[in-house]
C-alpha cells in the first residue's frame, strides 16, 4: 500500500472511531472539555505509533503463541510512560483524565492496529499507520469535545466564547449520552458523504 | 366544492414532471389533510377501514382539547391567585383569555418547528408526510410548564423530532415517545429553568414550585397543600395539561370509546401506581395516601396520553399489562425514593418504552413454547 494512502485512510475513509466503532468508551468519558480530549488523543497517538513500531521490529523473531503477552507488555510500558509524563508536566489534566490514561491499554484501536497491521508490515509503514490511526481517533475526540464544551459550557479551552452573549449552557451536553449522540451525528454525516459506506 | 376543484387544478404542478414536483410530499400532505384520499392500497396486506392515520391522530387531538382548554384557564386562575394586579377581579373568560395568550405561543412554536423538520425530511427522502406530529406538537406544550422560554420549546422539539424520530426512520419507527423526549431534553439540558422552586411563574417576576415539588417537601401531619377536589379538578400549579385529572378523564373516555388507546395499558398504569403507592404507604415511606399520587403531577396525563402511544408501548396483550403496571409502579418508585426527581412519570414511561420490545419478545416466546407443549401432549 502506498505510504500517503496508508496515512490518510485512517483519518477519514477508515476512521477507527466512526467507521470501525472502536474506542467509544473513552470518547464518551473524556470529551466534556477540549483540553483533556486533545491530550487524550495525543497520548493514544503516541502509544499507538510506538507500539506499532516496536511490535513491527519484533515481528520476525516472535513466536505467534506468546504474541499477545508481548503486545500487552509493550503497550503497558508505553502507557505507563505517558501516564508518568502527564503527572509530571500536566498534573491538572492528568487528574481530569484519571483512570482513562491507564485504560489506553484496553483501547481496542491500539491492540487492533498491532494485530492487524504491525505484525505483517515493515517498521516505518507500521509507525505511520499508528500515527494516522491515533490522529483519526484524536480528531473525532476533539470534534466531539468542541461541540460539547462550546454548547455545554459556552467556552473553548476554558476561554469564554458564548457566555458573554448571554448564552445559557446546555447541561445535557455535559452528560455522556450526548457524546454518544454527537458521535452518532458525525457518523450520520460521514456516511451520507461516503456512499460506499452505506449498507444496501 | 370550490376547494376540491382548486386542489385538482393545481395538482399537475406538483405531480411528476410538473414545475413544483419537488414539493410533491407537501402537496400530498395537505391534500389528504383536506380530503379523504380516493386511492386504494395496491399491494400488501391492508385493513379495510375508514380510519387512516390522519383520522386516528385527529381523535387524539380532540381528546386533548379538554385538558388544553382547562390548562389555559388554570394558567389564568393561578396568576390571579398569585396576586396579579390586572386580574384581581377578572371573570372566568378573562382568566381563560389570559392563559390562552400565555399558552398559544408555545403551541405555535412547537408546531412550526416540528412540522418544518418533518416536511423537510419527508421531501428529502421522498416520503409521504406523516401525521404523527399533529399529536406530538400539541402534547409538547401541554407537558411543559407555562413559563418555559420559547427557545427551549423550539430546541427540545427539534431534538425530539430529529434524534427521537427521524433517525429511526420517521413516524411509526421511533423507540421513544417524541413528546416525552422533548420534555426529557428540556429537563436535563435546562434543569434550573424546568424544575425546582422557580418553575411556576405566570406573572413576570413571580415564581413558585409546582404541586409535586411542594409535596416532595411535605411533612407528616401537616395539611395536604391541595384538597382532593382541587387536585381532581386541577386547580393547582403544574405543567399546562397535567393538572386536571377530570379533564384528562374526559379525554380518556374519548380515546377508549373510539378504541384509539388501549384500555389495558391505561388500567394497568393506574393499578401499578396505586399498588406501589399503598406499598410505600404501608412501609411508611410516604406521608400522604396512595390515591393522591394519581391526582397530582403528570401521572394521569402520562397514563392516558403518553403510555398508550401505540408505537412505543408493548404490542401484545399480556405485554401491555406488564408494561402498564411497570410504568405506574416505577413512576411512584422514582417519586418516593429518589429525592432528585419529584416527577417520575416521564422517566418511567421512557424507560419502559425502551423495554417494551423486550417484553413483547418474551411474551411471544412464551406463547410459542406453550403451544409447542400443547402439540406434544396431543401426540
Does residue B151 lie in a domain region?
A: yes
A9 inside 8 A of chain B by CB = no
Residue B305 lies inside a defined structural domain of this protein: yes
Put simply, whether B22 touches A (Cβ < 8 Å) is: no
Residues in chain A with CB shorter than 8 Å from the CB of B198 are none
Could you tell me how far CA A164 lies from the centroid of its own chain? 32
What is the torsion angle, in degrees rounded to the nearest 10, for the CA atoms of residue A12, residue A15, residue A17 and residue A22?
180
ipTM over 0.85? The verdict is no
- The closest CB to that of B188, out of A171, A181, A184, belongs to A171
Residue B357 lies in a domain: yes
Q: Which of B163, B167, B189 sits opposite A171 (nearest CB)?
A: B189
Task: Name the phi and psi angles at A156, rounded to 5.
Answer: -135, 125
Q: In A, which residues are within 8 Å of B190 by CB distance? A: 168, 170-171
Express each pLDDT in A63-85 by its tens digit. 889 888 999 999 999 999 999 99
The residue ranges of every structural domain in chain A are 18-192
Examine residue B12 and state whether it is found in any structural domain, yes or no: no
For chains A and B, what is the number of CB pairs under 8 angstroms? 16
From the number of C-beta atoms within 10 Å of its C-beta (0-12, 13-18, 19+), residue B255 rates as buried
Domain, as residue range, for B330: 53-371
CA distance B173 to chain A (A): 18
Q: Span A85-99, mean pLDDT?
A: 87
Do B191 and A171 lie within an 8 Å CB cutoff? Answer: yes
Average pLDDT over residues B104-116: 90
For B124-134, what is each residue's pLDDT tens digit? 777 777 677 88
A173 in contact with chain B, both atoms CB, cutoff 8 A: yes
Total number of domains in chain B = 1
Q: What is the largest CA-CA distance in chain A?
A: 63
Q: Is A120 on the interface with B (CB under 8 A)?
A: no
- CA distance, residue A109 to nearest chain B CA (Å): 27
Q: Which residue of B has its CA nearest to A153?
A: B189
What is the predicted pLDDT for the residue at B42? 67
Work out the average pLDDT over B348-372. 92
Quick: pLDDT tens for A104-113: 888 888 888 8
| Mean predicted confidence (pLDDT) in B355-359 | 93
CATH number of the domain where residue B64 is located: 1.10.3430
3-class SS shares of chain B: helix, strand, coil, % to 5: 65, 0, 35
3-state helix, strand, coil in chain A (%, to 5): 75, 0, 20
User: Residue B13 is inside which H or E element, if any?
Assistant: helix B2-14
Q: Which range has highest mean pLDDT (A47-61, A186-200, B115-129)?
A: A47-61
Cell reading at B196: 425546582
Percent of chain B with pLDDT over 70: 77
Residue B22 forms part of a structural domain: no
Chain A residue at shortest CA distance from B149 = A168
| Dihedral in degrees, nearest 10, Cα atoms A32, A34, A35, A40 | 70
Amino acid at each position: 500500500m502506498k505510504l500517503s494512502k496508508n496515512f490518510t485512510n485512517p483519518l477519514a475513509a477508515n476512521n477507527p472511531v466512526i467507521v470501525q466503532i472502536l474506542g467509544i468508551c473513552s470518547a464518551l468519558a473524556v470529551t466534556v472539555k477540549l483540553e483533556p480530549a486533545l491530550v487524550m488523543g495525543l497520548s493514544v497517538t503516541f502509544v499507538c505509533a510506538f507500539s506499532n513500531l516496536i511490535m513491527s521490529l519484533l515481528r520476525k523473531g516472535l513466536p505467534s503463541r506468546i504474541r499477545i503477552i508481548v503486545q500487552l507488555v509493550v503497550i503497558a510500558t508505553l502507557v505507563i510512560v505517558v501516564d508518568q509524563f502527564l503527572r509530571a508536566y500536566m498534573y491538572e489534566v492528568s487528574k481530569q483524565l484519571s483512570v482513562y490514561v491507564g485504560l489506553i491499554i484496553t483501547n481496542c484501536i491500539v491492540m487492533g492496529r498491532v494485530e492487524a497491521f504491525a505484525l505483517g508490515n515493515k517498521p516505518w509503514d507500521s509507525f505511520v499507520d499508528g500515527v494516522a490511526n491515533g490522529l483519526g481517533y484524536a480528531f473525532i475526540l476533539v470534534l466531539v469535545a468542541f461541540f460539547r464544551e462550546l454548547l455545554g459550557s459556552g467556552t473553548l479551552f476554558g476561554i469564554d466564547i458564548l457566555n458573554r452573549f448571554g448564552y445559557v449552557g446546555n447541561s445535557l451536553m455535559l452528560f455522556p449520552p450526548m457524546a454518544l449522540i454527537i458521535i452518532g451525528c458525525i457518523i450520520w454525516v460521514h456516511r451520507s458523504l461516503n456512499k460506499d459506506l452505506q449498507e444496501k | 366544492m370550490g376547494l376540491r376543484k382548486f386542489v385538482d387544478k393545481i395538482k399537475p404542478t406538483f405531480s411528476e414532471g410538473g414545475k413544483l414536483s419537488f414539493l410533491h410530499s407537501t402537496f400530498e400532505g395537505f391534500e389528504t389533510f383536506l380530503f379523504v384520499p380516493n386511492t386504494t392500497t395496491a399491494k400488501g396486506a391492508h385493513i379495510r377501514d375508514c380510519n387512516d392515520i390522519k383520522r386516528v391522530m385527529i381523535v387524539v387531538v380532540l381528546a386533548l382539547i379538554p385538558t388544553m382548554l382547562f390548562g389555559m384557564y388554570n394558567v389564568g386562575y393561578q396568576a390571579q391567585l398569585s396576586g396579579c394586579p390586572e386580574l384581581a377581579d377578572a371573570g372566568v373568560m378573562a382568566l381563560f383569555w389570559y392563559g390562552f395568550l400565555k399558552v398559544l405561543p408555545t403551541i405555535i412554536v412547537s408546531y412550526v418547528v416540528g412540522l418544518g423538520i418533518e416536511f423537510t425530511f419527508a421531501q428529502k427522502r421522498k416520503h409521504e408526510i406523516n401525521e404523527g406530529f399533529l399529536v406530538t406538537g400539541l402534547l409538547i406544550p401541554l407537558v411543559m410548564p407555562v413559563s418555559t422560554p420559547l427557545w427551549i420549546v423550539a430546541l427540545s422539539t427539534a431534538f425530539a423530532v430529529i434524534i427521537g424520530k427521524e433517525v429511526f426512520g420517521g413516524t411509526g419507527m421511533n423507540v421513544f415517545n417524541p413528546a416525552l423526549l422533548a420534555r426529557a431534553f428540556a429537563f436535563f439540558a435546562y434543569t434550573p429553568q424546568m424544575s425546582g422552586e422557580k418553575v411556576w411563574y405566570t406573572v413576570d417576576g413571580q415564581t413558585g414550585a409546582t404541586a409535586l415539588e411542594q409535596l416532595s417537601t411535605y411533612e407528616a401531619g401537616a395539611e395536604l397543600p391541595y384538597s382532593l377536589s382541587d387536585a381532581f379538578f386541577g386547580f393547582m400549579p403544574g405543567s399546562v395539561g397535567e393538572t386536571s385529572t377530570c379533564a384528562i378523564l374526559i379525554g380518556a373516555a374519548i380515546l377508549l370509546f373510539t378504541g384509539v388507546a388501549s384500555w389495558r395499558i391505561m388500567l394497568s398504569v393506574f393499578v401499578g401506581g396505586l399498588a406501589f403507592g399503598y406499598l410505600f404507604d404501608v412501609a411508611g415511606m410516604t406521608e400522604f395516601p396512595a390515591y393522591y399520587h394519581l391526582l397530582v403531577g403528570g401521572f394521569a396525563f402520562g397514563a392516558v396520553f403518553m403510555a398508550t402511544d401505540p408505537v412505543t408501548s408493548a404490542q401484545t396483550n399480556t405485554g401491555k399489562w406488564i408494561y402498564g403496571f411497570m410504568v405506574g409502579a416505577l413512576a411512584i418508585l422514582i417519586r418516593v425514593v429518589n429525592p432528585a426527581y419529584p416527577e417520575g412519570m416521564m422517566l418511567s414511561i421512557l424507560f419502559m418504552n425502551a423495554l417494551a420490545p423486550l417484553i413483547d419478545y418474551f411474551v411471544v416466546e412464551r406463547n410459542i413454547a406453550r403451544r409447542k407443549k400443547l402439540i406434544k401432549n396431543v401426540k
